[in-house]
Structure 1
């Protein structure tokens, strides 16, 4: 696959009438959206972004800032959506911001507008929180990953895997924690923001601020669970994707 950025997760790649392009969380990889793919339906061709420096791109250098991530992804993304009758973007955590910036660039540089931008588990892009997770010690960062979930504890107990995981996660936290966004930055497509009701990183009130970043409609919903609430709410999240994508087609 070389340095390709997109991975097809659908069993029948290219057969779906609606492309759903997914953007992983900090430390995450394309395969993290495998369960969600099974819950979206055959009409969706699910693609997921594979950031450099992990899994089959592990020999490529990590990218530690959002603008450069989007710069690298954009040519392949433009080529992909040019052939798509309909497409939506779905990001989780850090991926929500990458999806937002990718959506903005698509609109500006190719004129392509997503049907819906789904922002999951992340405060609005213009949030003024100033976090310093990327400056934690290895031990502190490892403890944080165990508390938040999403990383198998067995991998963190293996010294070799632990070091690889921590370097990737630290890099991605640096990218999202140094990211800055103007309050008037927006996309044209509707935004649907979702969050777990026990997510320590984002509250239902905080995701409401995503409404300022679209000139289209806005909808927010919470699900039971913590930061990785998608794992235990795969079917209802899949249903939400189908409902809002359908509504966007009719509008």
Structure 2
């Protein structure tokens, strides 16, 4: 039985369940939206529900101003999630991994610690990425960077009108991550599970391993075949492993 849609804009509510005891909030990569995670729904059974997070400036929130302040965004999301009745589990890929981490820190401070943090494709928070600013590159260079990044289908780059529509959100996302610097704060106590692709040049296993330093809880790192978006090919395996990790919670 599904929960009816609410007016809260932050979550894709389509996959919620009245029987859920745990909610897995999935945070998007730079330029991504909640829609990316919709294909995961078929792997969710039992008491864990899928809750894709929708950020301003995309999808149903396209008319809203994109956000380029990660700290403020994490504040808002932590406040909303803290009011939810289920236990909190967080997942994030790339930019989403850092956003999930910062939300987890705030929830711990608020007395609502998350049960598990899952991160993919992003070096540990103290490591600065990207190494050089890219958000203010000239249009042609910025588009070439997006092609290399690999988040969008090549067909998107053939439609200037669509790119014009998406450009403010894309630049805001990259501005948000390039300006991020981890501030002093509490160490997490929840388990952290991480994955990366074996051919992702920007996120080698050596850059993922320090995620274990961000928690006093258990840490596990797996390396899977693929580049930065290895997640697309291996999402079924990752969801299964996440469910297995949560069975002990």
Same fold by TM (over 0.5)? Answer: yes
Aligned in 2, Cα 1:241/1:87: closer, same or farther, shift over 3 Å? same
Distance in 2, Cα, partners of 1:14 & 1:199: 39
Answering whether residue 9 of structure 2 is matched by residue 4 of structure 1, we say yes
1:165 Cα deviation from its structure 2 partner: 2.3
| Secondary structure class of the residue paired with 1:89 | strand
Q: Could you say what the CA RMSD is over the residues aligned between the two structures, in angstroms?
A: 1.8
For this pair of structures, how many residues does the alignment match? Answer: 243
Aligned to 2:3: none
Identify which of 48, 51, 61 aligns with 1:44: 48
1:184 Cα deviation from its structure 2 partner: 6.4
Whether the 8 Å contact between 1:87 and 1:115 is mirrored in structure 2 is: yes
Whether the 8 Å contact between 2:105 and 2:185 is mirrored in structure 1 is: no
- The correspondence of residues 28-43 of structure 1 with structure 2, limited to 5 A, is 28-43=32-47
Aligned in 2, Cα 1:42/1:158: closer, same or farther, shift over 3 Å? farther
Aligned in 2, Cα 1:42/1:148: closer, same or farther, shift over 3 Å? farther
Aligned in 2, Cα 1:148/1:39: closer, same or farther, shift over 3 Å? farther
Aligned in 2, Cα 1:108/1:51: closer, same or farther, shift over 3 Å? same
Distance in 2, Cα, partners of 1:18 & 1:145: 35
Answering whether residue 200 of structure 2 is matched by residue 208 of structure 1, we say no
- The correspondence of residues 1-251 of structure 1 with structure 2, limited to 5 A, is 4-10=9-15, 13-80=17-84, 83-84=85-86, 86-109=87-110, 111-129=111-129, 130-182=131-183, 185-247=186-248, 249=249
Whether the 8 Å contact between 2:75 and 2:106 is mirrored in structure 1 is: no
Gaps in structure 1 of 5+ consecutive residues: none
Gaps in structure 2 of 5+ consecutive residues: 1-5
Name which structure has the greater RCO, CA cutoff 8 Å, separation 6+: 1
Comparing 182-191 with 20-29, greater Cα deviation is found at 182-191
1:15 Cα deviation from its structure 2 partner: 2.9
Q: Deviations over 1:73-114 (max 9, x none)?
A: 23221111xx11x331000110101101101111112x1121
1:9 Cα deviation from its structure 2 partner: 4.5
Q: Deviations over 1:36-92 (max 9, x none)?
A: 332343432110111111111111111101111112223221111xx11x3310001
Aligned in 2, Cα 1:14/1:133: closer, same or farther, shift over 3 Å? farther
Distance in 2, Cα, partners of 1:68 & 1:3: 18
